[in-house]
Each structure stands twice: as C-alpha cells, then as structure tokens.
Structure 1
C-alpha cells in the first residue's frame, strides 16, 4: 500500500529529474507507476502540480510552493535515516560512563583505550561519582553505563561482574613489627585505622562484614581516594584498608606491607551495570562486550 510519504518522495524525484521516465529509473519504478502516484497526489491535494512540456514536465506555481516545503522535509528524513545507520555502525554517537576515581584509574583505562581505538568517532563522557551516586544517575538516565563496586542493591539495574578484588590492611615501616604474626580483626580494630569516607561502597562493605563479626571499626582518618590511603600509610599515619589488586606497586617495592590477618575479608567484585527497562545504544552494547572480553 502506497503511503502519502511515498507519494511525496515520488513527487520530489520528478521535480529533481524534470521527467517521469527519469524519475522512474531513479526510483526503480515503472513510468506508469510514477504517473499514477503523481495523479493520486494531485487528486488528494485538489490541484495540478506539473505541466507537461516536450522534454518532460515543469512545476506549476502550486507545485513550486509544495516542493519548497516537501523537499526540506524529505531531506530531513533522509538525514535522520543516515544518522541512524551511522549510529548503528558506531560512526557517530556518544557514550556516558559513570565511574569512581579508583576504578577509573586501576580498572577502566585499558577498556577505554580499546574502545576508542575501535570506535574513534564515539564521543566519550566520563562522570566521576561514588557507586551509590552512579546508581542514581543510571536510574535517571544521566549515564548509559556504570562501573561499580559490587555488591549493590538496585533491582532496576542489570549487573555484570568483571573482576574479583580483595580488601586488605597495609602499613608502613613504623608498624612493621606488628605483622610478624597474623592479627585478628579485634586486634585490627584497636589500631589507628585509615579508611575511605563513609559514602564509599568499599568502606561500607568492610564495615558491614566487621559488624557481622560483632566488631566495630572506627577510623582515625577518613579520606576520599584510594591513592591517599596508600600514601598516608606510607608515611606511617596508620593502618589503611585498601584493595590488594590496586596496591601491587607499593607492596612489591616494599613501600608498604600487607598486614596478615587470621581470616580474610571475603572477596567482592567490580563490574558494570545498566538500566533493565530501557533500550541500550549500540555504543553501550559494544562497550559492554569489550568489558566482558567478547
């Protein structure tokens, strides 16, 4: 069934070609089909649009008025279709990623590099927030994908695990003598502790686990970045709780020492999440595939 939009597309092509036969070739239609489409459009509009001449057709005054507006509309439709195709092929578009400072530095960077090398025309916007703030931004549509510290309680999000991480305690040279034997969590709690700020999902995880053992930990110093935990422990201001995988350089060169404990804090995960209820962009899907190593 031919639609009004189809009729206008035929009309515009006849205008450009100045001939029913040339328009038919351009549109892969028969000449009678083109003629029938123009007749139907003229009948619908109640006016004559073309005047026949020996070499083809020319627009009437009414046809010129119609073409001026219809051609712009058809061009915009064609442009929209072109942009949609480019977006599907990742030739244009943008991707907004929510991530914390630590995960950005120690986890996300190589994936960003790979994605950018593959799809250089996709504009990347990185928003630095805590995990809880990222969940809120995902819910409101402010970011497309979030790199988060798991576990999180957010039933409206699809969650995918990427790597396991281990929380440990570290100290500088001054406290080295205390780590000759493994310490209990009760003993750890009595030391001068350096932890992340309370809004951090990482700190909340460690605190909740300690409370499950009936141990309350109270830090002497609270900081906003994982790197600062390492640096403060390095200058012997206390015992820092850090992610082992993100602290290897300090541990390997002997700048910091891992405080051995009788039992370990259970491992947790870093992963990515996105809204369950909305259709995802091609860029978001491709970036997810890179994160999952597909």
Structure 2
C-alpha cells in the first residue's frame, strides 16, 4: 500500500532534482528520503528518475506521475493550512489616530490587553482630522470638534491642564489676579505651538484677555516639555494625568486655581459608524480611562 509521504517526497525530489536538497526542504534525513523514493518505485514497478552524479532527471513515467500528483498534493497542503489558520485566534485591525501623549499615557500601558490589532498615527487635531477625511485612519481621539460633513463626534473625557514650574522655582505669593497675570507674563514659557494652545485658554478664562507671551521654546511634545521644566528651563501647562504618571519630584503645580479643562472626543466617519472594530476600540479605551 502506497504511503502518502512517499508521494510528497517524490514531488519534492522532482522539484529539486536532488535527493539531498529534497531532504533539506522536507527536514528529513537523506537516507529516509531515498527510502521513500525506492519504495514508491517498487510500487510503480519502474524507475521514476534517471540518476547522474549531479542531478536526477525524471523519466517519462516520472513526469506522468508528477503531473497527476502535484495538484492533488498542493490541494491537500492548502486545505491543511486553511484548517490550521481557522483554529488560530483572529484579531480585528483598526487604524487609530491620536496625540502622542495620550497614546503613551492612556493606550500604550494597556495595549497588551487589547484583542485588536492597531495601526497608529500621531499628530495634531488638524492633522488627525485630515487623516480621517482621507480614510487613512478609522478612528481618532481629538481635542477639537469641527463641523465636518460625514464625521461624528462622541465625548470621551475631560483632561485637566495646570501651570507647572520647576520644583525650586520662586513663585509670587499673592491672591490678586492682576498681579498673577503680570508675574506670569514676565516668566520664561514653553509652548506646544506658536498659537499658545491651552496657555491662551488660561488667559481667556481667568484673565479675560489674550496672553502677551513670546515663548522661549516651541516643543510639540508634552513629555519633552515636562522634562524641560524639570531641568529648570521655564514654565508651561501640562495635563494632570501626565503629571500623575510621571511621579517626579522635580516639578510643582503653581496657581492651582488657574487650571482649565479640555474636552476629548472620539471621531469617525458616519459611514463607518456601525463597524464593530470601531465600537470595540472605543469600549476598551473608555474602560481604561
């Protein structure tokens, strides 16, 4: 009775024109491969290859047998691979966009728990919106809610920003709002952008005016800004969750009454509203906030 493995060995020898190379391909010993071929030739009743010192060439009977066996072997191997693949866990893929800081603090620490494969993109709110409009991401987390046709927003959370200074920084001791504004305006500031994001919010909400500040450094990364504050470079505004997670003793919050809140939203295209991977991703992020 013919063994199926004899057929596989025969087809491998046919492809490689060599018993030794076929043995390597099938991760078998050369004697075992030769034994398979000899057994098959005995069953067929004639040689299937012409042996030379360098290569093996199929006989006419060998060519005929290969043409019959090859598609059957390939079909069986494909069926086996599909069966194995079906038994493996599958993971949904979703393309997300968010600020680098939010990803680092809120998503990355729990990424190993997600049963979702992610392709991540980082950028500003404007950049992320463009990626969403161009279908380069499926879901973004943004601090700006634009009235854009075809895009829906859902509230995620409030993030709180406070003014942060180096630990040994001498701060004006006063409750007078006008004196606070004058003193703050005279300090060295670092900002996330030239338009003074969040800093401008603090001035408008608490001082009812625009800030007259020219930052000494523009650094579009809150982690780096926090590091610069630790090194005594100057003041800036930082999210409280980043401060909690950093657990450092080289900075301090000043004028805690001047804090502001910033709303964060999920945003996605309405045409994708019912995709299960979007709802799954929003659910797991909400659970970990």
**Global fold match (TM > 0.5):** yes
Residues 143 and 180 (structure 1 numbering): CA distance in 2 closer, same or farther, change over 3 Å? same
The residue that corresponds to 1:96 in the other structure is: 95
The residue that corresponds to 1:170 in the other structure is: 164
The residue that corresponds to 2:131 in the other structure is: 137
Residues 273 and 196 (structure 1 numbering): CA distance in 2 closer, same or farther, change over 3 Å? same
Q: Check the 8 A contact 1:100/1:129 in 2, yes or no.
A: yes
Provide the TM-score with structure 1 as the length reference. 0.58
Residues 93 and 194 (structure 1 numbering): CA distance in 2 closer, same or farther, change over 3 Å? same
2: CA distance, partners of 1:278 / 1:249: 34
What is the CA-CA distance between 1:180 and the residue it aligns to?
4.2
SS in 2 for 1:136: helix
The residue that corresponds to 1:105 in the other structure is: 104
The residue that corresponds to 2:261 in the other structure is: 267
Structure 1 gaps of 5+ residues are 1-78, 80-85
1: CA distance, partners of 2:260 / 2:198: 10
1: CA distance, partners of 2:132 / 2:103: 17
The residue that corresponds to 1:76 in the other structure is: none
2:238 to 204, 225, 242: 242
2: CA distance, partners of 1:245 / 1:172: 18
2:120 to 112, 121, 126: 126
What is the CA-CA distance between 1:123 and the residue it aligns to?
3.0
Structure 2 residue 185 is the aligned partner of structure 1 residue 189: yes
1: CA distance, partners of 2:113 / 2:152: 23
Residues 292 and 151 (structure 1 numbering): CA distance in 2 closer, same or farther, change over 3 Å? same
2: CA distance, partners of 1:272 / 1:248: 23
1:214 to 205, 209, 217: 209
Alignment length (residue pairs): 199
The CA RMSD over aligned residues, in Å, is: 3.2
What is the CA-CA distance between 1:270 and the residue it aligns to?
2.7
What is the CA-CA distance between 1:287 and the residue it aligns to?
1.0
1: CA distance, partners of 2:111 / 2:147: 25
Residue by residue over 1:253-290, the C-alpha shift from the partner in whole angstroms, topping out at 9 and shown as x without a partner, is 421011115x4243112332111244543212211222
What is the CA-CA distance between 1:179 and the residue it aligns to?
5.1
SS in 1 for 2:145: coil
1: CA distance, partners of 2:189 / 2:120: 31
2:253 to 243, 253, 258: 258
The residue that corresponds to 2:141 in the other structure is: 147
SS in 2 for 1:103: helix
Range with greater deviation from structure 2 (125-134 or 156-165): 156-165
